[in-house]
Structure 1
Amino acid sequence: MKRMVWALVSVAALALLVFLALHGPDRRQLLVEHQAEGTMQHLTTDSVNNVRITSGSFTGSFSRGPHGQWSQTGATVDATTAANASAAIEAGLRLLHNTVPERSFETEAAEFGLSAPVLQVTVKAVGDQTFEAIFGATNPIGLARYVRIRSAGLTTVHLMPSYMVDAWTPALPGTAR
């Protein structure tokens, strides 16, 4: 008799687990369409047609071609370098569009390192919409960077993950991967 009770309890528990896996509240969240929450959420990455990257003495302007590929304006580069730059720009744009700031600041402090930026990205989209991200110093533990965002007439300062700068480096000369 005890065996029968334990078998029934086991079957009931298994049925409950299967039901929750197929119809639970987390399952419904998976069906909701993703909404961007990054600093560039108001622009879709497909609407961007020009990107200007400045790092140190390098300034490069890139334009999106008719088939979606990126090419450096006024420069002749080999196919591998162009492909690396194109992939880096797409990755960087996705990160700006989707990555949520770790923290936002009311005022800008000198230790943010934004007066001498490490990287500056200016984006122009359809309809003359502009977006600018200026990456400054790393935070004290080195895992994030201070970023000044200029968009739609507003200027904000955020703390963003350091890998956002790393995503753009293949588009810079001498950094091909």
Structure 2
Amino acid sequence: MRIVIVRGIDDSPHDHWQSIWQKSLGPAAVRIAPASFTEPDEDDWCAAINAITGEDDILVAHSLGCLAAASWIARGGRAAGAFLVAPPDENGSAFPPAAHGFTAPHSALQVPSVIVASDDDPYCSPAHLTELSTMWGSPKIDVGQHGHLNRASRLGEWDEGQRLLTAFAAGLGVRLPGV
């Protein structure tokens, strides 16, 4: 079992919680390597997820990475679970034009999953998060007002997120190393 980090557009800098978690997990965590984080392509990102993800792995996705992870699963990808943080609304006014072509699947994800989001995310309204939760069959956890749960949110190690991931993994019967 590994944690597969699926970062969002423009990648995640060293002080983003995903990068901090990856560093703390050492070899128990890997990240996808698409052709571009700045000019993303959904098919390429799905191929990058497919290239490194095993059926016992847990996807930890942020933002655009959530749409890529959900699309990969909808295309038949298998993992132990998907921890989806701050998925964006591809039809929202703040959605990056460079990510045009990424879409949220309109069917239940065929792996256990959870959506973790902030109720003041500028990239996705609470109503759209509820819609995604219903479509994907993914329970939604509201963590309050922290924006997009990204670098600008100044979450650092994001202890609350680590606790949520640990609980999600425990529900899958998995004990995470070092998170």
TM-score of the two chains, using structure 2 as the length reference: 0.21
Give 1 or 2 for the bigger CA radius of gyration: 1
Please report the TM-score for the alignment, with normalisation by the length of structure 1. Answer: 0.22
Q: Larger strand proportion, structure 1 or 2?
A: 1
